[in-house]
A and B are shown apart, each in its own frame.
Chain A
Amino acid sequence: MNHLELEEHLQDLFDGRLEGQAFEDLQQVLRDDPEAREAYREQLHLQHTLEFRTKGVDLLNVVPMDLVVERRQRRSMRNAALAAVAVLAIGAIVMALIAARPPQPTLIVNTSPGTEISISHAPTREGGKEAPEGLVLEPGSRLKVLNGTVELEFASGVRGIIRGPADLTLQREDLLDLANGTVWFEVPAKAVGFKVNTPDLVLTDLGTEFGIISEPNFLDEVHVFDGKVEVHNRYGVKHQELLQAGQARYAGPAGRWKETPVRRDHFLDELPTKELEPAVISSEDFTTTQLAYKDDASDSDLLHGLTAVTTGWNLANNAHPKELTDGIHGAGFNQVSGDSVQGAWTTVGAIAEYHLGTGAKGLGYDITSIQSIADWNGAGFGNQAWTVEVKPVGGDYRILHTVNHHPLSSQPLDGGGATKIVLADKSGVLASGIESIKFTASHVAGSVDNAFIWRELDVFGSPTTSATAR
């Protein structure tokens, strides 16, 4: 049996289509040939992962059983009472309503000005319902938001606001698959049990208001503003947690939930009436030539000489976050004895926080631009993904911008090169009156542990001179 025949037989075996002599032939090869057994295991793993990713969620019930029991009990008591007094009247009313009204769509979509979307529907069964027309979704429909903002109105009363880009599929009236996007949901009591799947988590609403951030290169986040939400990590130890109002978590890579501040400013809860313009201008460059931006590191910016408060960095091979702001780009791997990685090696969620102080006038600093350089010799470690937050004097941190730049290949033997980001603002000032600035590393697509090598971080600006802070 040659390799192609073996491959065909294995796929047929796992499809349940291999019979007769072909089945016996495959058994014999599997008995005799270790390489065939290895091929069997590869096919097994593919079959398992494909099946498990779609069914795995349903294999374990994520709604607490006591809640299910309680809801069932309440429903049966209510049903019994209704049946005793009003079954005929209700029946007549329901029939009249059914006769008079067309069926309500499962989900209606509204868009804000300037929004671009596409809607596709699952193939319909022969003789089944036709694909719906207009801005509506039925189970199996997929909505892609290219840009802009979209409102979701479920027949169940659930309401959601999505900020694009986003990609979601309605699986059932009470189950939404969110491939990516930033979504705020409000779930009325009658729709308790509404469920959202993302690539990292399964979320079950228990009557609440909450937000989800699911981006391809970030760990999924859940922010609960009211009520309760149960979240279940799909990976690793698959930790499950019941979140209360005022709590937020992101899905840690090992399958645990990690704490993060709850942020309302991530989410919109109303559809904007006009097109939103991005406030920050992000200039994104890349090159497959390593060290190409080595002369761009600044030793005269606001961060130079400051010691950061840091958490979560990888310090292997002498990598260190202090090298972020030393004004030195750093050489290639193993070029400097005793300092193999001349830069900061991120982990997802690693933080560097800098206290700028209140400046000459006690009003903080005007930030005019931010420059970030990542660089490595392969596997996409020269890509970069991070969030910058700023804190005004006496105020709280707010997110200024999120960077997501992954042009370099994540293949092990190539993907070397560098990326450079420069953030600026049309007005010339990104943020005014700032006393602290915080950078949080995120997921880089594809690289090992989603990390990158951050060579330099420069923040430019000057003391704020007038109290009209943005």
Chain B
Amino acid sequence: MELNATQQAEFVSQIARHQSALHAYIISLMPGVDGVDDVLQETNLVLWEKRRTFEPGSNFRAWACAIARFRVMGHRRKLARLGFQLLDDDLAEQLATECEAEPEELTDRIRALEHCLGRLPEKERALIDFRYFSNSQLEEYAVKCDRPVESLRVSLFRIRTALKKCITGELTLYRNRP
């Protein structure tokens, strides 16, 4: 039976609320592989198509992750046929625990990241923005800023290591109340 307007709004809100967890879960099953956003969109579509089968009050996150996992496995099979080197299925499953995380926990991580990015010098921030915001290759950025691409990779390595340390500190801080 079709959901009424209120139920539809609630369902869409659930999908929105779990976007971050689904995104993390999909990356964890296919690290370094293109197509994460496509798989997420496919998952969203399937969730919407199956909205009538979802039982209100049951665990939306577990249900959504099961659907995402199914879509990822299909994507992984395609990539394997094309000769891509992928994590073994068993290991990928062992590493993919992100569906256990509460959406608020992932939200804290994004907030912590924002704080930590704010502390980066402008040049380092620009490099991170380029790497994660633009669709261009690092080689292109190397030409623009007249730096060897390997030097940019070393910088990225250092910045990401520093960001992880900073985020860990921020998350500790969130738990430290008067």
Residues of A in contact with B (beta carbons under 8 Å apart): 7-8, 11-20, 23, 27, 30-31, 37, 40-56, 59-60, 123-126, 199, 216, 234-240, 254-255, 317, 333, 341, 345, 376, 378-379, 381, 410-412, 446-449, 453
Contact = CB atoms under 8 A, between A and B. Distances in A.
Given A30-B95, A54-B129, A59-B40, 16 more contacts: A14-B27, A19-B85, A20-B85, A41-B95, A45-B24, A47-B27, A48-B106, A52-B20, A53-B113, A56-B20, A56-B23, A126-B140, A199-B114, A236-B107, A254-B104, A341-B178
Contacts of A23: 85
Can you list the 3 inter-chain pairs with the closest CB atoms, starting with the nearest? A123-B144, A16-B32, A48-B24
Contact of B16 (A27, A48, A60, A447): A60
A7 B161 contact: yes
Interface residues of B, number: 66
A237 B13 contact: yes
B156 to A, nearest CB: 8
Contacts of A123: 141, 144-145
A124 B143 CA distance: 10
B7 interface: no
B30 to A, nearest CB: 10
Contact of A11 (B44, B157, B173, B177): B157
B36 A31 contact: no
B110 A446 contact: no
Main secondary structure on chain B at its contact with chain A? helix
Contacts of B110: 49, 52-53, 234-235
A333 B178 CA distance: 8
23 contacts: A42-B168, A44-B31, A46-B167, A47-B31, A48-B27, A48-B106, A49-B109, A49-B113, A50-B113, A50-B128, A56-B19, A59-B37, A123-B144, A126-B140, A237-B17, A238-B13, A238-B19, A240-B13, A254-B104, A255-B107, A381-B178, A447-B173, A448-B175
Interface of B: 13, 15-17, 19-20, 23-24, 27-28, 31-34, 36-37, 40-41, 44, 85, 87-88, 91, 94-95, 97-98, 103-104, 106-107, 109-111, 113-115, 118, 128-129, 131-133, 136, 140-141, 143-145, 156-157, 160-161, 163-164, 167-170, 172-178
Contact of A55 (B34, B37, B113): B37
A238 B34 contact: no
A44 B178 contact: no
A447 B16 CA distance: 28
| Most chain A CB atoms below 10 A, which of B27, B37, B128, B141 | B27
A22 to B, nearest CB: 10
A44 B13 contact: no
